Every structure is written in C-alpha cells, then in structure tokens.
C-alpha cells in the first residue's frame, strides 16, 4: 500500500496526558500537512512541512502542540497536557507540491 | 469567520439525476479551488480542482464551475450513482496551485436514493 499511513487509528487519553501521533507520507511526496477535524466541521489546517522544514503554522497550533519531520520522511504530532477540546480527528496529508493532497485515514483522539 | 461556506448540510438526489453541490467564498485572494469526497472512517479523497483563470473544469461525471464575480463555485455530478453518497468538502487556497494550506468548508452530505 503506497498511501498515507497514520498511527494509531484511535487514541483515548486522560486529560493532562501527552499523546503522539505518527504519519508516514507517500515516499516521493516532499510536502506533508497536518489538519484537525471536529464534528460537523471541515478539516482545519494546522501546519505543513516541505521536506524537513516546517514552513507554516496555524494560530490553531498552540504551544502545547509540536510537530516534527526529521529527515523529511515520517512526521510526528505531539500534544502535551491534553484538554477535552483537543478531542478531534487528526488528519495527515502529503503532496508532491502540485494538484491535490492525498490524505490518510486519520487518528481519532478522545480526551476523557 | 468562515471564509468558505457550504450552506447545505445535506442534499438528497435520486440515482441517475444530477447532483449540484454549492460553495461560496469570501476571500478574494483565493485563486485555486478543490473538491474532496469523504466516506465515514476514511480521509478525504481529492476529486477535482479549478484555477481562478478558468470557469469550468470537467473530469468524467464531475464538473466544477467557478463564478469569480459571485465568489461561487459548484460541483455537478451527472449521472449520480449510489457510490457517490458521501460528504463533499469544498476547499480553497490563496497560494496558487493549492500547495500550501487549504481552507475547507463544513461539507455537504450527499445522499443518493435508489
């Protein structure tokens, strides 16, 4: 399967705990994106990388959130001191820099 | 402030008929528009796009129309098939080609009835 892979698919955590999600993009895609989707909303842009460089961050990405893409391959998104408002689907996508993205199936986070 | 608006949360269409999904935007800097389709428990799938230099783009059963003066675009699906039942998102970019972050609407749930 050469699609975008996200792990885990589901994560339940207690408020205040840290969580980390992983995204493996399509190997030849140099751009990688993170989005968040809550119920009844469209995906909201969080951040993107071109190779290993983080080029843009949304104001939605508070200082509790950090994303990395070491060596320009897979990426991780960490949320520290989770809050109930962080409950959402976290979507990763990759792109060769031209038309359209390929999204992964997402990681559903539930903070209890 | 919603810069991309899909005012119909749901739309029901009979199989074989035309489905028309609408999208309005407020940011005049948007120059590239995309439609995505999403099934439950899956990520969105790219369908079709249009640049602001065009007013129509067609790909098989899917056609996107852009009216820049009205800041409005629409997706036409002809003929509608049961597998088209999904949530459709309109998205826009101001960075040319959509390579940077996209702004999405809230989606329209299309239901194709047999």
Report residue B96's pLDDT band, with 50, 70 and 90 as the boundaries.
low
Pick the residue of A40, A41, A95, A100 with the most B CBs within 10 A to test the interface with B by mutation: A100
The 10s digit of each residue's pLDDT in A42-76 is 999 999 999 999 988 888 888 999 999 998 899 99
Instruction: In whole angstroms, give the CA distance from residue B16 to residue B79.
Output: 5
Mean pLDDT of all residues in A78-92: 97
Per-residue pLDDT reduced to its tens digit, B41-91? 899 999 999 999 999 999 999 999 999 999 999 999 999 999 999 999 999
What length is written for chain A? 112
First to last CA, chain A: 33
Which residues sit opposite B77 in a β-bridge? B19, B62
Residues of chain B with C-beta less than 8 angstroms from the C-beta of A97: 97, 99
Kindly determine whether residue A103 and residue B45, on different chains, have CB atoms separated by under 8 Å. Answer: yes
Query: Per-residue pLDDT tens for A14-42?
Result: 999 999 999 999 998 999 999 999 999 99
pLDDT for position B1: 76
CB-CB neighbors (< 8 A) of B49 in chain A: 99-100
Chain A positions touching B104 (Cβ under 8 A) are 42-44
How many angstroms separate the Cα of B70 from the Cα of each of B24, B26, B63, B86? 8, 10, 18, 27
Q: Which of A6, A34, A43, A58 to probe the B interface (max B CBs under 10 A)?
A: A43
The pLDDT of residue A97 is above 80: no
- Looking at every residue in chain B, the average pLDDT score rounds to 94
């Amino acid at each position: 399967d050469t699609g975008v892979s996200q792990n885990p698919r589901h994560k339940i955590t207690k408020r205040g705990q840290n969580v980390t999600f992983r995204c493996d993009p399509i190997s030849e895609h140099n751009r990688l994106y993170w989005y968040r989707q809550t119920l009844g909303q469209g995906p909201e842009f969080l951040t993107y990388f071109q190779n290993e460089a983080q080029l843009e961050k949304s104001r939605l990405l508070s200082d509790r959130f950090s994303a990395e893409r070491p060596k320009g391959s897979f990426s991780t998104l960490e949320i520290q001191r989770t809050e109930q408002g962080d409950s959402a689907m976290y979507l990763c996508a990759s792109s060769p820099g031209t038309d359209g993205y390929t999204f992964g199936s997402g990681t559903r986070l539930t903070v209890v | 402030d919603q810069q991309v608006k899909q005012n119909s949360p749901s739309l029901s269409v009979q199989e074989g008929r035309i489905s028309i999904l609408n999208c309005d935007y407020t940011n005049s800097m948007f120059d590239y528009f995309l439609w995505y389709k999403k099934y439950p428990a899956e990520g969105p799938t790219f369908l079709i796009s249009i640049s602001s230099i065009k007013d129509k783009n067609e790909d098989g059963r899917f056609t996107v129309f852009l009216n820049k003066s009205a800041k409005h675009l629409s997706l036409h699906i002809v003929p509608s098939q049961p597998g088209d039942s999904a949530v459709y998102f309109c998205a826009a970019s101001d960075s040319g080609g959509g390579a940077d972050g996209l702004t999405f609407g809230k989606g329209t749930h299309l239901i194709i009835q047999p």
